[in-house]
């Protein structure tokens, strides 16, 4: 800074010297021109008056300032003055008559010497002035420039997070007041930033960077986003909605290869909720072997290659478990090639997962409690309470859309013999297997319900006619007849009887349809079992 200012001053002084020299030179030339021209005109006028011009010319030529005086036979309408620096002479051409010009050549030694002397004086004065000004400016300006340099150095340190700095000066007055104010500002910044850094590092575990101020700004912005995210997921209806929001958050960090795995600790089931790219492991089948799930801690193959035996690809990965202490465990698996970028964003992602953990566990637990009220704990199928809630809406919806609903009442034949022969535990195993067969035999839009004991009700939504209902019922009957029911080391075969009714062909109200299907089931039992019977009005008598 100091050198730049002094260079600028020098340039200004040099330019001003050049301008002053040019002005002096022009002024001197103009003054000289007037003297020489006046003298030349005087000589011309005398020559025009005297009779003996040659004698007068001889007298003039003897002048020490005039080298030559002559007439030329060339007409020149204007006065002309030529300066010849090489020969150090000045030539003046004056119109004398109609046929000739008067040419006077003056000796220019004295003239040019005076010009050079004047220029040397001007330049010398300018140089001396420049030196004096630089010395004065340097003396008075240096302390202020040193302050600016110190402020620059201190500011650079502050940008790197070092606030243990201050500035000292010997200046007094306003400069001293400014430095004191600046030092007070540094102290306040140190205290404020220390508190801010302490607070946000307790929320987000991050390594200190080379740019702590910008890092603090970014972290605070992320904390604000995390707070907004938490408020949103608290208002979400269920765990799946929360996980969908989490997917959007991960994508917002420009991560293109990741997966979210949802594990139900109660039912011991794992589901790949979302995946983008090959997740490189069979966690749905063997989630108990997942290292992140077993240890409930972060798994980082960038630091420890081949750390998890389940990962079958060569790429690196980071697995982050969340909500791992209750009914639900989530695992975020990230397969990002740019580790430096991943290290930068990982603390933020962990903060999002921390906020997700408590909320999603609460939502998942509420869902479990709700499912316990509407699902049969033995078979996992819906129970009669659920049926009571949905039956009327399903019938009303079918009525509005002009659709048909199939009602299949399924009952296992001679189920009492299973309990009597093998015990109630064996009976429970048979019912579990039966429930799985029923679910695998219907569409996702259909509903399977444990109606009571060994009786099951299936609602077939939006079917064409009775033939379609009968076809599904026959499929279920055959599937169960071909199923091996395992009881310890033994296997047994069981059959079912099925009664079928269709809304609105056989009934107009929901419970009428169930009663009609039950009547058809009774007919199937009465007429030999292991068969499907379509409802007819005679079955009610």
Instruction: Give the tens place of pLDDT for each residue, 111-158.
Output: 777 777 877 877 787 788 778 877 777 777 777 777 778 888 887 877
- Beginning with the edge strand found earlier in the chain, give each strand of the sheet holding 89-95 in spatial order: 66-72, 101-107, 89-95, 80-84
Question: Which stretches within 85-208 are classed as H helix?
Answer: 109-159, 174-203
Q: How far is CA 383 from the centre of its chain?
A: 48
Q: Can you tell me the distance from the alpha carbon of 32 to that of 269, in angstroms, rounded to the nearest whole number? A: 112
Residue 301 is classified by DSSP as T
Whole-number Å distance between alpha carbons of 409 and 282: 38
pLDDT in single tens digits along all 541 residues of the chain: 556 666 776 677 677 767 766 676 677 667 777 777 787 788 777 777 777 777 777 777 777 778 887 878 866 567 888 878 788 888 888 887 777 888 888 877 777 777 778 778 777 877 887 788 777 777 777 777 777 788 888 878 777 767 777 888 777 778 778 888 888 887 877 776 665 665 556 556 666 665 666 667 777 788 888 889 999 988 888 888 899 999 999 999 999 899 999 988 877 888 899 999 899 999 988 888 999 999 989 999 999 998 998 998 988 999 999 986 677 889 999 998 788 888 888 989 999 998 898 888 877 777 666 666 778 889 989 999 889 888 988 999 899 989 999 999 999 999 999 988 889 999 999 999 999 999 999 998 899 999 988 999 999 999 999 999 999 999 999 999 999 999 888 899 999 999 999 999 999 888 899 999 999 999 999 999 999 999 988 877 6
**Residue 25 to residue 36: CA distance in whole angstroms:** 16
pLDDT in tens, 307-351: 998 998 988 999 999 986 677 889 999 998 788 888 888 989 999
What's the angle, vertex CA 433, arms to CA 430 and CA 439, rounded to 5? 140
Report the DSSP beta bridge partners of residue 499. Answer: 409, 533
CB atoms within 10 A of CB 488: 9
Question: Which of these, 258, 288, 286, lies nearest to 273 by C-alpha position?
Answer: 258
User: DSSP for 147-179?
Assistant: HHHHHHHHHHHHHTT-----------THHHHHH
Q: Give the three-class secondary structure for 306.
A: coil
Question: For residues 458 and 446, is the Cβ–Cβ distance under 8 A?
Answer: yes
Task: Please give the structure tokens belonging to residue 500.
Answer: 């079928």
Q: Which of 473, 502, 468 is nearest to 411 (CA)?
A: 473
486 strand-pairing partners: 491
What whole-number distance in Å separates Cα of residue 261 and Cα of residue 326? 15
Separation between Cα atoms, residue 207 and residue 348, nearest integer Å: 12
405, 509 contact by CB (below 8 A): no
Res 382: pLDDT: 92
410, 509, 391: which is closest to 450 by C-alpha?
410
- Report which secondary-structure segment, H or E, holds 259: strand 258-264
* CB contact at 8 A, 93 and 80: yes
239 contacts 363 by C-beta, under 8 angstroms = yes
Given this chain, do its domains 233-369 and 384-540 carry the same CATH topology?
no
Cis before 381? omega within 30? no
Q: In angstroms, rounded to a whole number, what is the distance separating the alpha carbons of residues 388 and 374?
A: 10
The single residue listed with the structure tokens 């964003």 is 345
CA distance 166 to 287: 58
Topology (CATH) of 233-369: Beta-Lactamase (3.30.450)
Structure tokens that stand for 23 in this block: 């002005």
Q: Does 3.30.70.270 match the CATH number of domain 384-540? A: yes
**For residues 181 and 361, what is the distance between their CA atoms, to the nearest angstrom?**
52
pLDDT of residue 182: 80
What is the rounded CA–CA span in Å between residue 148 and residue 157?
A: 14
DSSP state of 386: H
The structure tokens 């607070």 sit at: 199
Q: Which of 402, 429, 538, 405 is nearest to 494 (CA)?
A: 429
Planar angle of CA 113, 116, 121, nearest 5 degrees: 125
Q: 37-55 burial by CB neighbour count: b if 16+ within 10 A, else e?
A: eebbeebbeebeeeeeeee
Among residues 429, 432, 410, the alpha carbon closest in space to that of 421 is found at 429
Q: How far is CA 171 from CA 138, 143, 187, in A?
A: 15, 7, 21
Q: What is the pLDDT of residue 95?
A: 82
Strands 89-95 and 80-84: antiparallel
CA distance 536 to 521: 11
This prediction's pTM: 0.51
Q: How many residues are given for the chain?
A: 541
* 438-465 core/surface letters (b: 16 or more CB in 10 A; e: else): beebbeeebbbbbbeebbbbbbbbebee
The reported pLDDT for the residue numbered 101 is 83
| Domain chopping of the chain, boundaries | 2-116, 233-369, 384-540
Distance between CA atoms of residues 315 and 280, nearest Å = 9
Q: How many CB atoms lie within 10 A of CB 188?
A: 11
Tokens of residue 322, six digits: 């969340």
């Amino acid at each position: 800074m100091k050198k730049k200012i002094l260079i600028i001053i020098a340039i200004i002084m040099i330019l001003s010297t050049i301008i002053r020299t040019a002005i002096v030179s022009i002024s001197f030339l103009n003054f000289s021109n007037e003297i020489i021209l006046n003298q030349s005109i005087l000589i011309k006028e005398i020559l025009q008056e005297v009779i003996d011009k040659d004698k007068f010319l001889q007298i003039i030529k003897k002048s020490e300032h005039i080298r030559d005086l002559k007439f030329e036979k060339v007409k020149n309408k204007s006065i002309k003055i030529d300066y010849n620096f090489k020969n150090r002479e000045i030539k003046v051409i004056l119109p004398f008559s109609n046929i000739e010009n008067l040419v006077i050549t003056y000796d220019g030694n004295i003239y040019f010497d005076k010009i050079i002397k004047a220029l040397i004086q001007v330049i010398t004065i300018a140089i001396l002035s420049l030196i004096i000004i630089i010395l004065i400016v340097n003396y008075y300006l240096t302390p202020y420039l040193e302050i600016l340099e110190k402020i620059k150095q201190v500011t650079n340190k502050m940008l790197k997070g070092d606030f243990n700095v201050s500035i000292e000066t010997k200046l007094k007055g306003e400069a001293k007041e400014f430095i004191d104010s600046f030092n007070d500002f540094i102290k306040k910044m140190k205290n404020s930033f220390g508190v801010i850094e302490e607070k946000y590092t307790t929320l987000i575990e991050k390594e200190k960077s080379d740019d702590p101020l910008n890092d603090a700004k970014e972290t605070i912005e992320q904390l604000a986003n995390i707070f907004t995210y938490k408020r949103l997921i608290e208002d979400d209806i269920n765990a799946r909605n929360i996980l969908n929001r989490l997917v959007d958050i991960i994508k917002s960090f420009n991560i293109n290869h990741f997966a979210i795995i949802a594990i139900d600790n109660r039912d011991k089931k794992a589901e790949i909720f979302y995946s983008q790219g090959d997740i490189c492991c069979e966690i749905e089948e063997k989630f108990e072997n997942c290292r992140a799930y077993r240890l409930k801690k972060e798994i980082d193959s960038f630091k420890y290659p081949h750390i998890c035996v389940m990962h079958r690809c060569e790429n690196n990965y980071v697995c982050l478990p969340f909500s791992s202490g209750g009914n639900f465990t989530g695992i975020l698996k990230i397969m990002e090639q740019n580790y430096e970028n991943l290290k930068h964003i990982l603390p933020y992602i962990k903060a999002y997962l921390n906020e997700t953990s408590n909320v999603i566990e609460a939502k998942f637990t509420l869902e479990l409690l709700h499912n316990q009220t509407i699902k049969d704990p033995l078979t996992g199928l819906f129970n009669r309470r659920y049926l009571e809630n949905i039956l009327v809406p399903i019938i009303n919806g079918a009525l509005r859309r002009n659709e048909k609903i199939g009602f299949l009442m399924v009952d296992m034949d001679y189920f009492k013999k299973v309990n009597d022969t093998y015990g109630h535990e064996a009976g429970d195993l048979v019912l579990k297997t039966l429930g799985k067969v029923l679910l695998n035999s219907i569409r996702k839009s259909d509903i399977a319900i444990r109606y009571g004991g060994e009786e099951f009700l299936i609602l077939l939504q939006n079917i064409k006619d009775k033939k379609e209902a009968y076809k599904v019922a026959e499929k279920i009957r055959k599937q169960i007849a071909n199923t091996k029911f395992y009881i310890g080391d033994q296997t047994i075969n069981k059959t079912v009887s099925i009664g079928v009714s269709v809304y609105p062909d056989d009934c107009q109200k929901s419970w009428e349809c169930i009663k009609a299907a039950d009547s058809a089931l009774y007919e199937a039992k009465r007429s030999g079992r292991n068969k499907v019977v379509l409802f007819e009005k005679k079955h009610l008598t």
